[in-house]
Structure 1
Amino acid sequence: MNTSPFASPENQELLVNRYQLKKLIGKGGMGEVFLAHDVLLGGTPVAIKFLSQTFANPKIQESFNREALLSAALSQKSIHIVRAYDYGMSKSGKAFYVMEYLSGKRLKDLIPVPLSMFFTLARQICLGLQCAHKGISIDGKIHPLVHRDIKPANIIVIPDPILGQLVKILDFGIAKFLNSSNVIHTKGFHGTLPYCSPEQLEGDEVDSRSDIYSLGVMMFEMLTGQKPWQLETQYFGAWYKAHKFEQPKSIPEVNPYIQVPQQLNDLIMTCLEKDLVNRPQNIAEILQTLSKIEQSAHQNQIASVENKSTPHGSLSSELPITITQTCRELVWPENKPIQEIVFPQLINTKKGSMAALWLMLPQQEIINRAHTILHNQFIFITSPHPMLLWVTVLYGRQVVPKWLPCYLDMQNSQNLQLVSTLTNYTSYPLILFTLETPHTCANVLSSSIAPIQQKKLKNWVKQSQQLPSSALSQVSKKMLKHQYKQIQSQMLQYLESQPQIVA
């Protein structure tokens, strides 16, 4: 059943004689969001959120108007809070408010993020929260605002020419309105269970320290891609027990492969203290600590790079001229589709077979990436089926990374030969073919394989040959896909720490 205030928004009359609804662009527990055009401003695109409840009571409408007014006033004070322009009630009694329309991504679709991006985003989230917690003055009285539903789905990240990524926090003031005694007549609460503070779950009065608890959960997830508690069910009782009584896992416990400064783990654990008096008492404390950790981490990265003789992964290296010439003479296989794909395949050289990656891209993109570098990583799992993830990334400071994952069934004889061949060379070529006809080789790049990786590849080939046959290759592939985002984060952290990368 469609509970929207408009069954077909594009065919309806103007909302309050001003907004023409176009299409539904978001839906959640608190309501629905529509793209609309403001006809009084020449059709300017805006986002309109309708709250899920219908509020016919005049006192409730007055309460909503007050909260919406506070939220709109707050959004004028910080660029990190989504700007609210207007608010009101529809003819059916649906409360709505009008926001700026943003073309970006929700934080939930970006996590986990590399450490450098974490600092950029976390700092901006904190600045937005700090502004709200300090409050705004209306009629000579300070009104502090607590969000009550801080989570990755309520954070939008948009491209910005100055900051790189600009953070905007959604739904300020509305969560407080939905928690007010005028609206809630039971002991229920409004929030999102994995991010709720213990006092929020109890239905107690909350302050800025409740947002700090939710921020701690979100920061943990930004780094690991997981929550500090791994629960078998998502019911209220399970989350109540976790938030009230169970200690959160540390970042190394959830993912031992992520290199996070101990001070950052400690800060997040402090944000997750059960007793609010033991948490940071305000956002300013968190901002100060984050700044110190970021500065220290940057200095350690530089020192590590200067002293490191064998990197975690491998960067680009030059191929012998004879191999490059061989690659340039290759033609796109007839059995492969003409589209943007990547696949591994052996090539024949004067020194024997060599593993290579074949990639098809538009010619202009090949030109744009001519001076990027390559970096790789290999991950292997034996159970329930031996499967290898071979990840290569084209990286440059001025371009979006191009990720090239390849999943190899290690009980396939051709894949075994391919991986075995990788161990015979210190690098492998990436052969770029044009999407446009005649689909010729336009460039050849290469990525070196670190000695420690070569050793691992040899061991993995031997293991795969000794394991019994299995029909669960898709299960293993799904498991590797789950690890893929974490691998991306680790590789970006490494690449961004390399001062010699200027591409």
Structure 2
Amino acid sequence: MMTDPNIGRVLSNRYQLVQLLGQGSMGRVYEANDVTLGGVLVAVKFLSQTLLNGKMKLRFEREAKTCAQLGQRSIHIVRVMDYGVNEEGIPFYVMEHLKGENLSEVINRQPLTIPRFLDFTRQICLGLQCAHAGIQIDGEIYPIVHRDIKPSNILVSQSESFGELIKILDFGIAKVLQAEASQTNCFMGTLAYSSPEQMEGQELDARSDIYSLGVMMFQMLTGRMPLHADTHSFGGWYKAHHFQPPRSFDTVNSSLKLPKNLETIVMSCLAKSPGDRPQSIAEVLSALAPLEQRYGTGRQIAQRIGASLSRMPAPSTLQDPNLLSADEACRVTTWPGNMPIAEIVFPKPLNCTEGVIPTLWVMLPMREIQKRMRCTRYNQFMFMETPHPMALWLTVLYNREHESRWLPCFLDMKSPQGRQMARLLGQAGQYRILFFAQENPRHCFTVQTSSIAANQCKLLQEWAMIGQISPLNPNPSVSKEHLRGALENIKPKILMKLESLYDAGTDLTSLL
């Protein structure tokens, strides 16, 4: 048995190759240790030696840059962290190490139940939506078409906060849609999942990925393909995609009972003409939303998050939190004995009958609290992934008659506590501010509520996941300093906006 000569090699004085994970048409993928970060596992993909020409090297480098940008913006796309060339001139890039199985393996065991199908499809759509929204090149935004959506390019992994987390892999033949780009005039993709226009070598847009998604959705629900080619050849699949009507669900499995509107969604994605399909992934998501509500996918996610939160230690301030509502729990809290009696701010989860809620604890002199009994509350969250994943949680108490109070605190996304608080905030869409007076710190003086903008809720959830999978960096202070600097830069904008929109007691959550 031949030994892989790459095993044990160290790339860029940093990545030590451990074992071969797999290989495809573009190259090989190895598991590796990032020795600089204490052996954190990563995956390293090499371009195949048979493809070592100038054009393919550029395409491989473009794949790395595409995934690097997209992976920063969506947790449903594999993240790329580094790019390089080894001693033999073979390019490679480094990506997050993902444990799980591809969707093809899942489907081969058995078709998906409707709730699981809806959960998987929504996550796939969110990843595709991010790609179709585009990446920045020389200051311009260009959409990305994957062009090879199929089950083997979808990874199903387990996540503490998301349950089954879906990642889209292999943007190796993705196309950047640039206005001046010439047509490909050649076929690239996987025959069984390719759109009719892809078979013709036409310039593609998002609707081609939607067709491939339709093929995959049919397979996810039935375990079978919607089309059958006479021969597994380009000509056989060309005829199938262009002229063969998709099989009905009833023909494939008469015992499969699907909602009519779900069948309609899948079949619309399989339309031969791009103009007859959903014109964007947003349309697919919109069509699936009522089905998700009906089949309780949201409840399943909430249960998974609830199970995770239930493992959090109960705050010591409540003897029996299950007997108190959120407002009651806040009012009866006492200042923690391990915290100083001083002007400080810190986050804290709080148990109540509603579960665990996010709260912000603030200690100020009594006169300062009284000045802000009527005020505009504004919040904003900022995030820095490198060198250490850290979020800045900013609350501003604004009253035109008095100086604004800035209440910043940090959430370390590498710590379980920081991630838990981010998830709580993202799920609740609001938080309570508990005010304690320095003169009488034993009991909470008053409570205010601040709501969080929907887009910030989504980002908080994504940042928590990024923090969970990001390599550990021992120097979080650098990220804190950068965030403090960013806050100082945007303070004038925040004040201008608050001044122009001031209305005593109004809760402003997304002004910038």
Q: Take 1:59 and 1:150, find their aligned partners in 2: how far apart are those partners?
A: 23
Q: Is the 8 A contact 1:248 1:272 kept in 2?
A: yes
The number of residues matched between the two structures is 291
**CA positional deviation for 1:46:** 0.8
Q: Take 2:43 and 2:193, find their aligned partners in 1: how far apart are those partners?
A: 25
**CA positional deviation for 1:178:** 11
Q: Secondary structure at the match of 1:284?
A: helix
Match for 2:130: what amino acid?
C
**CA positional deviation for 1:292:** 1.7
Matches within 5 A, 1:151-300: 151-172=150-171, 174-176=172-174, 188-296=186-294
Matched residue, 1:435 = none
Deviations 1:257-313 (A, max 9, x none): 1111111111111101111111100000000000123334569xxxxxxxxxxxxxx
Q: Take 1:175 and 1:293, find their aligned partners in 2: how far apart are those partners?
A: 33
Measured at CA, do residues 53 and 179 of structure 1 come closer, stay the same or move farther in structure 2, by a change above 3 Å? farther
Q: Take 1:79 and 1:255, find their aligned partners in 2: how far apart are those partners?
A: 34
Q: Is the 8 A contact 1:217 1:228 kept in 2?
A: yes
Q: Secondary structure at the match of 2:141?
A: strand
Matched residue, 2:29 = 33
Q: Take 2:127 and 2:162, find their aligned partners in 1: how far apart are those partners?
A: 15
Matched residue, 1:88 = 84
1:107 aligns with 2:106: no
Matched residue, 1:127 = 126
Measured at CA, do residues 227 and 179 of structure 1 come closer, stay the same or move farther in structure 2, by a change above 3 Å? farther
Matched residue, 2:315 = none
Q: Is the 8 A contact 2:147 2:173 kept in 1?
A: yes
Gaps of 5+ in 2: 298-512
Measured at CA, do residues 179 and 191 of structure 1 come closer, stay the same or move farther in structure 2, by a change above 3 Å? farther
Q: Is the 8 A contact 2:80 2:93 kept in 1?
A: yes
Q: Secondary structure at the match of 1:10?
A: coil
Q: Take 2:136 and 2:288, find their aligned partners in 1: how far apart are those partners?
A: 29
Measured at CA, do residues 135 and 230 of structure 1 come closer, stay the same or move farther in structure 2, by a change above 3 Å? same
**CA positional deviation for 1:58:** 5.1
**CA positional deviation for 1:29:** 2.5
1:8 aligns with 2:5: yes
1:46 aligns with 2:45: no
Match for 1:265: what amino acid?
E
**CA positional deviation for 1:78:** 0.4
**CA positional deviation for 1:62:** 4.4
Q: Is the 8 A contact 1:158 1:165 kept in 2?
A: yes
Q: Take 1:84 and 1:119, find their aligned partners in 2: how far apart are those partners?
A: 27
Matched residue, 1:440 = none
Q: Is the 8 A contact 1:229 1:242 kept in 2?
A: yes
Match for 1:281: what amino acid?
Q
Q: Secondary structure at the match of 2:11?
A: coil
**CA positional deviation for 1:60:** 5.2
RMSD of the alignment, in Å? Answer: 2.8
Matched residue, 2:469 = none
Q: Take 2:58 and 2:246, find their aligned partners in 1: how far apart are those partners?
A: 40
**CA positional deviation for 1:89:** 3.0
Q: Secondary structure at the match of 1:76?
A: helix
Measured at CA, do residues 41 and 249 of structure 1 come closer, stay the same or move farther in structure 2, by a change above 3 Å? same
Comparing 58-67 with 151-160, greater Cα deviation is found at 58-67
Q: Secondary structure at the match of 2:235?
A: helix
Match for 2:162: what amino acid?
L
Q: Take 1:137 and 1:125, find their aligned partners in 2: how far apart are those partners?
A: 22
Deviations 1:397-428 (A, max 9, x none): xxxxxxxxxxxxxxxxxxxxxxxxxxxxxxxx
**CA positional deviation for 1:27:** 2.0
Measured at CA, do residues 231 and 58 of structure 1 come closer, stay the same or move farther in structure 2, by a change above 3 Å? closer
Deviations 1:314-342 (A, max 9, x none): xxxxxxxxxxxxxxxxxxxxxxxxxxxxx
Q: Take 1:177 and 1:146, find their aligned partners in 2: how far apart are those partners?
A: 5
Q: Secondary structure at the match of 2:164?
A: strand
Q: Is the 8 A contact 1:154 1:169 kept in 2?
A: yes
Q: Take 1:206 and 1:187, find their aligned partners in 2: how far apart are those partners?
A: 11
Q: Is the 8 A contact 1:22 1:36 kept in 2?
A: yes
Matched residue, 2:74 = 78
**CA positional deviation for 1:144:** 1.3
**CA positional deviation for 1:88:** 2.8
Measured at CA, do residues 211 and 186 of structure 1 come closer, stay the same or move farther in structure 2, by a change above 3 Å? closer
Match for 1:49: what amino acid?
K
Q: Take 2:155 and 2:56, find their aligned partners in 1: how far apart are those partners?
A: 29
Q: Take 2:122 and 2:239, find their aligned partners in 1: how far apart are those partners?
A: 30
**CA positional deviation for 1:239:** 0.9
Q: Is the 8 A contact 1:10 1:22 kept in 2?
A: yes
Q: Take 2:166 and 2:274, find their aligned partners in 1: how far apart are those partners?
A: 26
**CA positional deviation for 1:95:** 3.2
Measured at CA, do residues 242 and 93 of structure 1 come closer, stay the same or move farther in structure 2, by a change above 3 Å? farther
Name the TM-score, length of structure 2 as normaliser. 0.53
Deviations 1:341-388 (A, max 9, x none): xxxxxxxxxxxxxxxxxxxxxxxxxxxxxxxxxxxxxxxxxxxxxxxx
Deviations 1:182-236 (A, max 9, x none): xx99964331111111111111111111110100000000000010013353222
Matched residue, 1:116 = 115
Measured at CA, do residues 254 and 69 of structure 1 come closer, stay the same or move farther in structure 2, by a change above 3 Å? same
Identity among equivalent positions (%) equals 52
Matched residue, 1:145 = 144
Match for 1:33: what amino acid?
V
Instruction: Give 4+ residue runs of structure 1 displaced > 6 Å after superposition.
Output: 177-180
Q: Take 1:243 and 1:189, find their aligned partners in 2: how far apart are those partners?
A: 14
Measured at CA, do residues 27 and 62 of structure 1 come closer, stay the same or move farther in structure 2, by a change above 3 Å? closer
Q: Take 1:118 and 1:39, find their aligned partners in 2: how far apart are those partners?
A: 39
Comparing 65-74 with 75-84, greater Cα deviation is found at 65-74
Match for 2:44: what amino acid?
I
**CA positional deviation for 1:93:** 3.9
Q: Take 1:238 and 1:175, find their aligned partners in 2: how far apart are those partners?
A: 22
Measured at CA, do residues 60 and 219 of structure 1 come closer, stay the same or move farther in structure 2, by a change above 3 Å? closer
Name the TM-score, length of structure 1 as normaliser. 0.54
**CA positional deviation for 1:40:** 1.8
Measured at CA, do residues 189 and 83 of structure 1 come closer, stay the same or move farther in structure 2, by a change above 3 Å? same
Match for 1:246: what amino acid?
Q
Measured at CA, do residues 187 and 141 of structure 1 come closer, stay the same or move farther in structure 2, by a change above 3 Å? closer
Measured at CA, do residues 205 and 186 of structure 1 come closer, stay the same or move farther in structure 2, by a change above 3 Å? closer
**CA positional deviation for 1:57:** 4.9
Deviations 1:414-465 (A, max 9, x none): xxxxxxxxxxxxxxxxxxxxxxxxxxxxxxxxxxxxxxxxxxxxxxxxxxxx
Measured at CA, do residues 243 and 92 of structure 1 come closer, stay the same or move farther in structure 2, by a change above 3 Å? farther
Q: Take 2:52 and 2:6, find their aligned partners in 1: how far apart are those partners?
A: 22
Q: Take 1:289 and 1:179, find their aligned partners in 2: how far apart are those partners?
A: 26
**CA positional deviation for 1:157:** 0.9
